[in-house]
């Protein structure tokens, strides 16, 4: 029978510019992921176990977006209904 397993993960990101962002992810922040339990399904036998694993990790990511920004492009404002109504009037 396995026991409970807990871990706390955290992430933070920062946009440095319009095309660059930085992200930090930390897994098992408090080093609390412990695998423990009792084996008691054997006749006249009971065993306890506790495994403390090295599960704490940190990942730092730098993202850069290549190419032109699409914010300046013209948006399509007309819907198909407006287009169809214009066609019917002609």
Q: Which alpha helices (DSSP H) does 1-90 contain, by range?
A: 80-89
DSSP 8-state secondary structure symbol assigned to residue 8: -
Q: What is the pLDDT of residue 4?
A: 65
Quote the CA–CA distance of 80 and 82 in Å, as a whole number.
5
Would you give per-residue pLDDT tens digits along the chain (90 residues)? 555 677 899 999 999 998 999 999 999 988 888 888 888 888 888 888 888 888 899 999 999 998 876 665 566 566 667 666 666 765
Token pair of 89 as six digits: 């009037």
Predicted TM-score (pTM) of this structure: 0.57
Q: How many CB atoms lie within 10 A of CB 45?
A: 8
Write phi, then psi, for 89 (nearest 5 degrees). Answer: -65, -30
Quote the CA–CA distance of 45 and 33 in Å, as a whole number.
27
Cα angle for residues 42, 48, 51 (degrees, 5° grid): 130
Q: What is the pLDDT of residue 74?
A: 61
């Amino acid at each position: 029978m396995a026991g409970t397993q807990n871990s706390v993960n955290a992430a933070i990101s920062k946009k440095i510019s319009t095309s660059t962002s930085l992200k930090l992810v930390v897994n098992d922040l408090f080093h609390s992921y412990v695998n423990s339990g009792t084996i008691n399904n054997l006749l006249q036998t009971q065993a306890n176990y506790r495994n403390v694993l090295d599960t704490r990790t940190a990942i730092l990511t730098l993202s850069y977006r290549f190419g032109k920004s699409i914010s300046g492009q013209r948006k399509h404002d007309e819907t198909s209904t407006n287009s169809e109504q214009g066609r019917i009037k002609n």
